């Protein structure tokens, strides 16, 4: 009889554990469904970025070593807007850098974080992007020389970061954000700010945003 009672107690414990596990799984499922409904209803839109201005302060290409070296200094002005009416954006990291034909040519300039962008808010940042003596692929050096000889150069300002969405008191997990802004410089005209090689920024451009 004692042995039977012991088995009965074990069975009750196992049933209690199964009930507790079922309750926890149900609560987790409910929380997931609620979060999915909130996301589908609010459907956060990516922040919008515009490259408003850029000044090419330095662009020096040298062949003093076995590989070309590029020294670049560019100051850019980028505006970001949160188009969502009910969703805020937390920027936990934003790294700015410049590239030429997909090769990074400056060091990353990181903005002080975190940055919170409320509903419809606009933020404007003007980081300086510098790349002293960056090893440069020979075929890219040839392409850049041809561009400069023709009186223009196309570069890209890129942003690599991490964001979170905020709805009321709820905040999402981290998402990777990647922004690409084309920067087109052409031979200077009258009454325009002139940078290295007599080049000026042509016109503000909208940026491509991936989250």
Quickly state the pLDDT bin for 17 (edges 50, 70, 90). Answer: confident
In this predicted structure, the answer to whether residue 9 has a pLDDT above a threshold of 80 is no
Distance of CA 106 to CAs 48, 69, 95, 130, 150, Å? 23, 12, 11, 5, 23
In this predicted structure, the answer to whether residue 88 has a pLDDT above a threshold of 70 is yes
Quickly state the pLDDT bin for 199 (edges 50, 70, 90). Answer: confident
Is the link from the previous residue into 185 a cis peptide, with omega within 30 of 0? no
What is this structure's pTM? 0.77
**Cβ 93 vs Cβ 140: under 8 Å:** no
Q: What value does the mean pLDDT of the chain take?
A: 86
In this predicted structure, the answer to whether residue 58 has a pLDDT above a threshold of 60 is yes
In this predicted structure, the answer to whether residue 1 has a pLDDT above a threshold of 80 is no
Quickly state the pLDDT bin for 65 (edges 50, 70, 90). Answer: low
Instruction: Write out pLDDT tens, residues 66-82.
Output: 789 999 999 999 999 99
In this predicted structure, the answer to whether residue 42 has a pLDDT above a threshold of 90 is no
**Cβ 56 vs Cβ 195: under 8 Å:** yes
Instruction: Write out pLDDT tens, residues 155-172.
Output: 999 999 999 999 888 888
Predicted local distance difference test score (pLDDT) of residue 113: 81
First to last CA, the chain: 65
Distance CA 211, CA 96 (A): 16
């Amino acid at each position: 009889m004692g042995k039977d009672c012991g088995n009965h107690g074990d069975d009750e414990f196992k049933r209690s554990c199964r009930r507790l596990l079922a309750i926890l799984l149900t609560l987790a499922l409910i929380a997931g469904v609620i979060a999915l409904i909130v996301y589908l209803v609010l459907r956060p839109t990516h922040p919008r970025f515009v490259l408003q201005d850029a000044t090419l302060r330095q662009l020096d290409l040298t062949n003093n070593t076995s590989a070309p070296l590029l020294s670049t200094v560019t100051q850019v002005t980028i505006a970001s807007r949160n188009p969502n009416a009910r969703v805020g954006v937390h920027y936990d990291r934003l790294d700015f850098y410049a590239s030429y034909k997909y090769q990074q040519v400056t060091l990353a300039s990181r903005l002080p974080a975190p940055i919170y962008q409320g509903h419809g808010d606009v933020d404007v940042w003007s980081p300086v992007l510098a790349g002293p003596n960056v090893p440069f692929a020979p075929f890219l050096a040839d392409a850049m020389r041809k561009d400069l000889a023709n009186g223009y150069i196309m570069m890209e300002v890129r942003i690599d970061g991490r964001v979170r969405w905020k709805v009321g008191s709820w905040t999402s997990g981290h998402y990777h954000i990647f922004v690409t802004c084309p920067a087109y410089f052409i031979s200077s005209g009258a009454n325009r700010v002139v940078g290295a090689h007599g080049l000026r920024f042509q016109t503000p451009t909208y940026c491509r945003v991936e989250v």
